[in-house]
Amino acid sequence: SIIMIGANGQIGTELAAALRKKFGTENVVTSDIRQPQVFAEGEIFETINVLDQDALVALFEKYKPTQVYLLAAMLSATGEQYPMKAWDLNMTGLLNVLNLCVEHKVQKVFWPSSIAVFGPNSPKENTDQYCVMDPNTMYGISKLAGERLIEYYNGKYKLDIRSIRYPGIISWKAQPGGGTTDYAVHIFYEALKNNRYECFLSENTGLPMLYMDDAIEGTLQLMDAPKESLSIRSSYNITGISFTPKDLALEIKKILPNFVITYSDNDPRQAIADSWPSSIEDSTARNDWGWQPRFDLAKLTQDMIENLKTK
Ligand code: VAH
């Protein structure tokens, strides 16, 4: 069976659905710290705190997983409000799962990293797979430490754990929680509800972003790639499109002409966004496992508005 830990978040919600479609609902066990509002007929869910080692041991013994997806984490903005909780959840949670995966000889493991591993002295444009990485958020520090750990577990214990440095992810099915890139999701909800949005990042804050459909397809592609083709055992750079709040607002106005964006100017998330690259270089992922995004800014804007209208 496949176990996903942290299945109720923005990525987990859709990755769980994709795994159920690919492997069969009866073969996917989802878990999170709280029950989801709804889950459909036949779906298996376990309420698990990734910091509760006894519960994790019982989960692995009950389901004998062949694959494990660890999505439980605290994101950048919330992590700056509760840095010790972020460190504990992101690092102890990862170590708990890594050790159980080794013990249970789990065949394949997935763990998400982030562009948050880059910092103020990393290259700002077309940031490489390898470069100076001086993250200055607890979330970014935990993701960089996590990358070092997964490469270590791959080398020392031959654990086949694979990872992607996700940019900001845009989706409509499940809301993001506590991120810095979340403005690019909130803006669509506000535009449709009030025809206006007060953006917590400045108009020229360029960030690398990715539409969820591309993120999910890329994740499954990485997990299906032959082990021998993977030259990176820390975490792969990938990106969809880079844009600023101004670019996104202009794109939304093409569909909602009365939409108005305003900018607040003292949000703590500005400093986090300013420490991250504005664009990412992802040729290694393209060469190693065929990474190829499909959604550009126009297409994702149309898709978000169409789907949120009905939602
Ligand atoms: C965040 N959405 O904003 C996450 C992600 C690259 C951004 O790590 O913290």
Over the chain (311 residues), the average pLDDT of each successive run of 10 is 97 97 98 87 95 98 98 97 98 98 98 98 98 98 98 98 98 94 98 98 98 98 98 98 98 98 96 98 98 98 97 86
Nearest to 84 by CA among 97, 99, 74, 94: 74
Place of tokens 């360029």: 206
pTM for this predicted structure: 0.97
> Which residue among the candidates 69, 139, 166, 183 is catalytic per the annotation?
139
Instruction: Specify whether the CB–CB gap between 225 and 298 falls below 8 A.
Output: no
Q: Which residues line ligand 1 (CB under 6 A)?
A: 75-76, 114-116, 139, 167-168, 176, 179-181
Instruction: Please tell me the distance between residue 64's alpha carbon and the centre of ligand 1 in angstroms.
Output: 31
Beta bridge partners of 161: 109
Provide the sign of the torsion angle of the four alpha carbons 300, 301, 302, 308, taken in this order.
positive
10 Å CB burial of residue 152 (0-12, 13-18, 19+) is middle
Residues in the chain: 311
Choose one of 81, 139, 165, 201 to mutate for the ligand 1 pocket test, by most ligand atoms within 8 angstroms of C-beta. 139
ipTM of this predicted structure: 0.96
